[in-house]
Amino acid sequence: MVELCDLHTHTAFSFDGHVLPFALCKAARRHGLFGLAMSEHFDFYADDSYIYYDLFRRERAEAVERMRGLFGGSLRIWKGIELGQPHYNLKKWREVMARESFDLVIGSIHDLPEKENIYRIPYRSQADCDRVFESYFHEMRRMIECCGMDILAHLDYPVRVMGGVFEGSPDLRRYEGMIRPILRQCAEKGIALEVNTAGMDKWQRCPGPGVWVLEAFRQYGGDKLTLGSDAHRAIHCARGFGRALAMIRQAGFDRIVYFENRTPHFVPIG
């Protein structure tokens, strides 16, 4: 039996989370996971306007320790953070990284410049999708260049909200020329690529990114893949992990990785 862990989850300590830490840990144990990371949101903006993370900084750390005490015998619990576009405010990013220690740091893009939220953009045509992805991948490259991270999250994030407009397969092959430089960057820097299963509940009905992306990452020397449900509710913990494992194996990988004290540890998947 393969031992799995979920490295991308959110509790009520994230602004959009809808589950208490205890309930999320119970769900992880019910799914037979050996580990769970609570990787709460911290999105960065030039005007330093995002404050939700800081409002509960002490309570969040205390909750992680409390869950470790309650579940320590059956579930490893890691303190993570999901940095949203940290290159928009490098001063604040450095402050956060200097004041706290994490088991894992996830990098992601949720907003384009000028606080253009990817989820709220009106997508009326494929041209709208193309514009967003061009900007999205540009900002992703900038983030990887400027900011240290362990995991690059949901490479295909915008496609989640493009259903009914996006033309063709959601595997993003149409953007191959923009994606490959990102994969090369991650491989060279030793950054893990996340297989995110949130798409199982979206119009795509599959994890992402596509198998061809995982294969290309491997071709560039990338050797670290993580599993993340992006759960914001207990019911979504470990969703679609069987499908994700099949994709990972199809791409030629025989192991996944988790992080403890920001040190990678590999788990064979057969």
Q: Write out the residue range of the structural domain in which residue 144 sits.
A: 5-268
Say what the pLDDT of residue 92 is: 94
Question: Domain containing 52 — which CATH number?
Answer: 3.20.20.140
Q: What are the Cα distances from residue 152, in Å, to 11, 23, 55, 103, 243? A: 20, 26, 25, 15, 20
Say what the pLDDT of residue 177 is: 98
Best CA proximity match to 104, nearest among 265, 267, 263, 268: 263
| Cα 184 to Cα 196: distance, rounded to the nearest angstrom | 19
- pLDDT above 80 (res 140): yes
Q: Based on the structure, what is the number of domains in the chain?
A: 1
Best CA proximity match to 257, nearest among 57, 55, 3: 3
Mean pLDDT on 225-240: 98
- pLDDT above 80 (res 51): yes
Say what the pLDDT of residue 220 is: 98
Best CA proximity match to 245, nearest among 216, 214, 204: 214
| Cα 256 to Cα 198: distance, rounded to the nearest angstrom | 18
SS3 state of residue 82:
strand
One-letter identity of residue 49 = S
By the 8 A CB rule, do 120 and 161 touch? no
Residue 270: pLDDT band with limits 50, 70, 90 = confident
- pLDDT above 80 (res 209): yes
Residue 113: pLDDT band with limits 50, 70, 90 = very high
Q: What is the mean pLDDT of the chain?
A: 96
| Cα 145 to Cα 88: distance, rounded to the nearest angstrom | 12
Residue 50: pLDDT band with limits 50, 70, 90 = confident
Residue 2: pLDDT band with limits 50, 70, 90 = confident
CA atoms within 13 A on the CB side of 28: 35
Per-residue pLDDT reduced to its tens digit, 25-46 = 999 999 999 999 999 999 999 8
Best CA proximity match to 147, nearest among 194, 102, 100, 84: 84
Say what the pLDDT of residue 48 is: 80
With residue 217 as reference, give the H or E element that holds it.
helix 211-219
Mean pLDDT on 81-93: 97
Say what the pLDDT of residue 73 is: 86
As a whole-number percent, the residues of the chain with pLDDT over 70 amount to 100
